[in-house]
Structure 1
């Protein structure tokens, strides 16, 4: 089948975590013999910021790292209907321009043969509810929501009738342990500063514990304002700026522990959504200690796959325990890796996606799925 993904960007992962997951989905679909294409807007802020920050080489490296993936940048006057004429499945990310979201839905209502899905991997359903309620999802066959609480939001608000929980996951062909890597640091955190959605939490669960313990720590990410950079410096933390997602596994491997600091909207309004870095870190076999978040869907085994620190003082204690106890660190790494490999890889999500398509797909998609099963 031919899958077309409307994304904010496939080429750039600058402050754009959905690119991680999308690349993994497309890679696994390709391994199964499907054709994939990503369409991204000419004015993608992620790609434009990456170019300004790192130059053209960062975009050029995408093709070397992901040679099987195709992305097309579309201009304002792009003929979307023609581009989708031979598509079997079209998946539209929620960062897509609202007018284009409506236009693609209209094409589906007017008889387009593809199955049309809307994919939400953000917290705007609670942080920008008015914007989300204004989206026109008429014509969409279903919504993919990256957490059960988000799925329930859609159903309660009446934004869609068919909504499926579709968590993110790790591309374990990329995110995997690298046991031969030399350890050059104690702690690494890969995360963006964002819009003050976790500024206090970063200070409490990262900066202060690192300073108190005197750890060799590094932060990688973007959008850190001057006061944040000053806080990192005061805590003795090295700041390395943007890191290509494909380089994150080696960065994890060179450190002894990492942390998870969820954004406030996920903790307070969308429990059960860990965001993709948890999946990716555990897939790399690095011990992880998390600030509080409620795993209501039991995706992991808190206390076994990772440790939870209730506050900054607890984070300091947990870090000291993991860094001083090699057996504890090894046990955590092994358990987390085991859970990801058994439940949370992009292969698992493609299996789920194909099941969803079998439930809601157009006639042509259902026929092709049936033909694929018969061939196996």
Structure 2
């Protein structure tokens, strides 16, 4: 198939957690013989922050992990949809795009033959409902939602007439177990952005306080940490590493003995069944994971076997002590979680799902795929 993707960014993952999944999907589609083009705004905030803070050499480094990764920059004034979409079979529009662009592409679809899907990978359908309701999806063929509850909301609100659940997953070409050193750099690693005060209390209860009280050697990576957060890390003896390129996470996981997952409050309170990308990343890398509470309503994992669940800060300390003192239990958790990812939650699995959705929409995926492979 000829597939066109409108992303916020595929080059930058600065405060852009979806970049991992989006990159993995592009690579998997290309490996199957599909022709893929990515378009992103020339002035996208994620890429601008990356370039201003770390320089263009980081884009060269990205090529080492994703050889040949590329994008097409556009501005609203110069984007020629007739030229961009003239031979497209499938178009995906990610929900971090401007309302005007989403509507414009939909209007173009009304005069064309390709299939057009809106891709939602965020909690804004619940937390910023008015903004999401302003997306004009009139001419879209459906919505890909990264959780059943989001899918149902689009249908209940009448924002679309067709929607599918399409969870995120791990790109196992980058996220996989790396060799562990003879001596670990520390006990615990956490990779995540502080965010918009959506989990401040939770980060203290399930991460900062347990590390401090257990006297663990810990390191945290992420961006948008306010002064009070940095002070809390310092008081707890936690090293702060700043921004970490997403593609280097697997290498860092290998240098530590355990990690934790602390979901943001909207996912815990209003969006059951959506783990976000972080557990997929950790489990794919074979590091033991302990999570603060979230409702695995869609049974993606087996809590207690893929990872431990700590319902309170006290339980988090107990779980950390178990993993750090019982090597057999730690290895058992890591192996079970890794197997679950490989069996059900890779980008290859999600492309399988996407291809089935395309067939449901009337696209001749297999025939087009074979033709593309034969021509390559």
Name the CA distance, whole Å, in 2 between partners of 1:368 and 1:168. 21
Is 1:293 aligned to residue 290 of structure 2?
no
Aligned to 1:213: 214
TM-score of the two chains, using structure 2 as the length reference: 0.96
Match of residue 10 from structure 1: 10
Bigger mean CA deviation after superposition, 26-35 or 280-289: 26-35
Q: Is the 8 A contact 1:177 1:283 kept in 2?
A: yes
- What do you get for the CA RMSD once the two structures are aligned? 1.4
Task: For residue 63 of structure 1, report the CA deviation from its aligned partner.
Answer: 2.6
The number of residue pairs the alignment matches comes to 371
Counterpart Cα distance in 2 of 1:181 and 1:27 = 29
Partner of 2:147: 147
Greater shift, 131-140 or 81-90, is seen at: 81-90
The answer to whether residue 82 in structure 2 is matched with residue 81 in structure 1 is yes
Name the residue aligned to 2:340: 339
Give 2:20's aligned residue: 20
SS at match of 1:242: coil
- Note the C-alpha offset of 1:193: 0.5
- Measure the CA separation in 1 of the matches of 2:181 and 2:353: 34
Distance 1:179 1:60, change over 3 A: closer
Indicate yes or no: 2:171 matched with 1:174. no
Partner-residue secondary structure (3-state), 1:251: helix
8 Å CA contact 2:180–2:255 kept in 1: the answer is: no
Equivalent residues of 1:41, 1:74 under 8 A apart: yes
Partner Cα separation in structure 1 for residue 86 and residue 144 of structure 2: 23
**Cα displacement (A) at 1:373:** 6.5
Task: Verify the 8 A CA contact 2:34 2:369 in the aligned structure 1.
Answer: no
Residues 172-212 of structure 1 deviation map (CA, whole Å, 9 limit, x = unaligned): 11111113434211000000011001111111110000000
Matches within 5 A, 1:294-333: 294-333=295-334
Could you tell me which runs of 5 or more consecutive residues in structure 2 were left unpaired when the two chains were aligned. none
Is there any run of 5+ residues in structure 1 with no aligned partner, and where?
A: none
Secondary structure in 2 aligned to 1:179? coil
* Alignment partner, residue 364 of structure 2: 367
TM-score by length of 1: 0.96
The correspondence of residues 188-337 of structure 1 with structure 2, limited to 5 A, is 188-337=189-338
The answer as to whether partners of 1:143 and 1:162 remain within 8 angstroms in 2 is yes
Q: Distance in 2 between matches of 1:145 and 1:74?
A: 26
SS of equivalent to 1:137:
coil
Instruction: Please give the secondary structure, in 1, of the residue aligned with 2:220.
Output: strand
For residues 330 and 368 of structure 1, what CA distance do their matches in structure 2 show? Answer: 40
Counterpart of 1:106 in 2: which secondary structure? helix
CA distance in 2, matches of 1:254, 1:270: 32
Quote the offset at 1:51 in angstroms: 1.2
